[in-house]
Amino acid sequence: MLVQESVRISTILETQKQFFRTNKTKNIEFRIKQLQNLKQAINENQSNIFKALKADLNKSGFDAYFEFIGIIKEIDYALKHIKNWVKPQKVATPWHQFPASTHIYSEPFGVTLIIGPWNYPFNLLMTPLIGAIASGNCAVLKPSEISAQSSIVIAEIISKTFESGFIKVIEGGVEVTQELLTEKFDHIFFTGGTEVGKIVMSAAAKHLTPVTLELGGKSPCIVDETTHLEYTAKRIVWGKFINAGQTCTAPDYLLVHKNIKASLLNKIKKYIKEFYGDVPSDSRNYSRIINQKHFFRLANFLKYGTIILGGDTHLEDLYIAPTLIDQVSWEDKIMQEEIFGPILPVIEYTDIDEAIAIINEKPKPLALYFFSNNKQHQTKVLQSTASGGVCINDTVMHLTIPSLPFGGVGESGMGRYHGKAGFENFSYQRSVLNKSFLWDLKWRYYPTPKGVKKS
Ligand code: NAD
């Protein structure tokens, strides 16, 4: 199978390289038309997308809409701004180069490989694709094999919308991703876990292929004693339990000031009930865990600390209740690994410096959340920590804003996308000096002219 697969993959790659060499993708009108085609295809397939999300993750209601509308908004934003993005940027030319002009051109890499995860299977493959098309690349897409129904729908949408020399989906398991990674792409965009990110980067290094790594990790959520409790609880519950906690930027754990811990937890319980009812397993708005492997991984976390809400699990439909856990220790596995599920451990602190020190001992997170009305504390947290992104007084929402570049730092990843950052991510900057034949200054030629310093 692998030999056949590699023949197929190398043929697809060669076809895309030839397509790229025709320069079709560099034409701005072509790019606009392809983005419009993608938007139309996503809109026309809305119900198929929703059905696949329901089948893979029991995702429905706002959770499914959130995934879908993010793609449409991102295409609209690219269509609105692309003509500005592609303009060569005129820069200053030093006098000793006159007469000349100097410009920076944004050029496509060529053929890019986009590897997606299963948690937002459409959004996290299509949003990078928008950047790839806008900047004039061809693309091979590898959806996650774990969100199997979504993978099928993605392959159908893409094969009906684009010629395979331009955009092509290759489905399959880990071995297919590994096979793809042996090929020489011009750029690789990977979204997934930190460990697989390392595999992707070392495979890319063999060809000196540039990579964008959108990874995960433990995103902390600090709540200080000056916060607006009601809104804080509501925004935490939304960001943590959307998609049953399987969101890369979900708050992983709470660091809450000891004076408000009890009242915050009461409010969080209130909003879990308000959003998902007394029995969240009956709620049509509550997603399921993607598969048994992740179900058992998460169920295993429930043995740590003291469960103060939730804790119910149903293997038959991969349900894990929205769960709050108190009294965990940093040595527990639940505090060592990214949770990536509907379990929220709560740790109390007494001083903001203590909370900052805890965060700074750990790998730099993808997101950092801080709820506080204290401006000095806000500045202090911003200045003394590092993370891919920050929301002050909210969770997850920063990634819905196309003018904010999205990505990680350190172990949570490298590179940025969304909006203009997506365009830039799939381009390289080509510096162009264009000299005139009008005259030729002598300062660099031998014999050295008078007045030019000799060493
Ligand atoms: P994953 O790393 O297991 O898989 C992602 C992709 O990598 C899949 O397409 C899979 O086929 C491929 N893959 C898996 N094992 C491989 C291997 N050994 N060699 C080569 N390819 C391999 O990630 P996942 O489970 O799909 O997603 C969960 C992780 O992704 C979490 O850590 C989460 O935080 C992160 N994530 C990050 C973002 C972000 O935007 N930063 C978004 C979503 C998810």
Do 188 and 293 belong together in one domain? no
Query: Residue 448 has what pLDDT?
Result: 87
pLDDT surpassing 50 at residue 378: yes
Ligand 1 neighbourhood includes 124 CB (under 6 angstroms): yes
Average pLDDT, integer, range 361-367 = 98
Mark whether 193 and 310 lie in a shared domain.
no
Closest CA to 363 of 343, 386, 346: 386
Decide if pLDDT at 25 tops 70: yes
Q: Specify whether 232 is located in the same domain as 356.
A: yes
- Are 365 and 421 found together in one domain? no
Query: Does residue 191 belong to any structural domain of this protein?
Result: yes
Domain membership of residue 97 (yes or no) is yes
The reply to whether ligand 1 has any atom less than 6 angstroms from the CB of 196 is yes
182 with 261, same domain: the answer is no
Q: Which residue range forms the structural domain that includes residue 369?
A: 220-400
pLDDT at 108 exceeding the cut of 70: yes
Determine if the peptide bond prior to 99 is cis (ω within 30°): yes
Please check whether residues 260 and 396 belong to one and the same domain.
Answer: yes
Residues 420-431, mean pLDDT to the nearest whole number: 98
Q: Answer whether residue 340 shows pLDDT above 60.
A: yes
**What pLDDT is recorded for position 5?**
60
Whether 198 is covered by a domain: the verdict is yes
Q: What CATH number has the domain bearing residue 331?
A: 3.40.309.10
Q: Is 214 a catalytic residue?
A: yes
Task: Indicate if the alpha-carbon torsion angle 92, 93, 95, 96 is positive or negative.
Answer: positive
Does 370 map to a domain?
Answer: yes
Please check whether residues 65 and 204 belong to one and the same domain. Answer: yes
Residue 454 is assigned to a structural domain of this protein: no
Share above pLDDT 70 across residues of the chain, in percent, rounded to a whole number: 98
Is the shortest distance between the CB of 338 and ligand 1 below 6 Å? yes
Which of 242, 255, 438, 416 is closest to 341 using CA atoms?
A: 242
Mention every residue, 6+ apart, whose C-beta is less than 8 A from residue 135: 31, 85, 106, 108, 423, 424, 425, 426, 427
HSE-CB of 140 using CA atoms within 13 angstroms? 30
The answer on 135 and 43 residing in a single domain is yes
Q: What span, in angstroms and rounded, lies between the C-alpha atoms of 340 and 186? A: 31
Q: Are residues 206 and 346 in the same domain?
A: no
Q: Do both 65 and 136 map to the same domain?
A: yes
- Mutate which of 5, 191, 417 for ligand 1? The one with the most ligand atoms within 8 Å of its CB, which is 191
Give 237 Cα–ligand 1 centroid separation in angstroms. 24
Among the listed residues 231, 215, 214, the one whose alpha carbon sits nearest the alpha carbon of residue 223: 231
Instruction: Identify the CATH number of the domain in which residue 204 sits.
Output: 3.40.605.10
Distance 296 CA to ligand 1 centre (A): 18
Supply the pLDDT for residue 450: 80
Q: What is the mean pLDDT of residues 5-29?
A: 93
Q: How confident is the model at residue 3, as a pLDDT?
A: 47
pLDDT the model gives residue 94: 95
Q: Is the pLDDT of residue 6 over 90?
A: no
Residue 311, judged by CB atoms within 10 A of its CB (0-12, 13-18, 19+), counts as middle
Per-residue confidence (pLDDT) for residue 308, from 0 to 100: 97
- Tell if the pTM clears 0.85, that is, is over it: yes
Q: How far is residue 179's CA from residue 203's CA, in Å, rounded to a whole number?
A: 10
Distance in Å, CA 116 to ligand 1 centroid: 7
Hey, what are 445's tokens? 């030629």
Is there a domain that residue 184 lies in?
yes
Average pLDDT, the chain: 96
Task: DSSP for 90-150, please give it.
Answer: EE---GGG-SEEEEEEEEE-SEEEEE--SSSTTHHHHHHHHHHHHTT-EEEEE--SSSHHH
Q: Which residue matches tokens 């590092």?
A: 386
Looking at residue 355, its amino acid is A
Quick one: average pLDDT of 55-76? 95
Is residue 180's pLDDT more than 70?
Answer: yes
Q: How far, in Å, from the CA of 240 to the mean position of ligand 1? A: 19
Q: Is pLDDT at 190 greater than 80 in this prediction?
A: yes
Given the residues 74, 138, 221, 248, select the one marked as catalytic. 248
**3 state SS of 257:** strand
**Residue 321 within a domain:** yes
243 with 314, same domain? yes
Is 4 a residue whose pLDDT tops 80? Answer: no
With beta carbons less than 8 A apart as the criterion, state whether 215 and 383 touch: no
Q: List, for residues 125-149, the tens digit of each pLDDT value.
A: 999 999 999 999 999 999 999 999 9
pLDDT-derived band at 449, boundaries 50, 70, 90: confident
What pLDDT score does 7 carry? 62
Q: How many domains does the chain have?
A: 2
Does 243 reside within a domain?
A: yes
Q: Write phi, then psi, for 113 (nearest 5 degrees).
A: -110, 125
- Catalytic residue, from 67, 214, 338, 348: name it: 214
Distance, CA of 368 to CA of 221 (rounded, Å): 6
pLDDT tier for residue 453 given thresholds of 50, 70 and 90: confident
Co-location of 241 and 158 in the same domain = no
Say if CB 16 and CB 140 are below 8 A apart.
yes
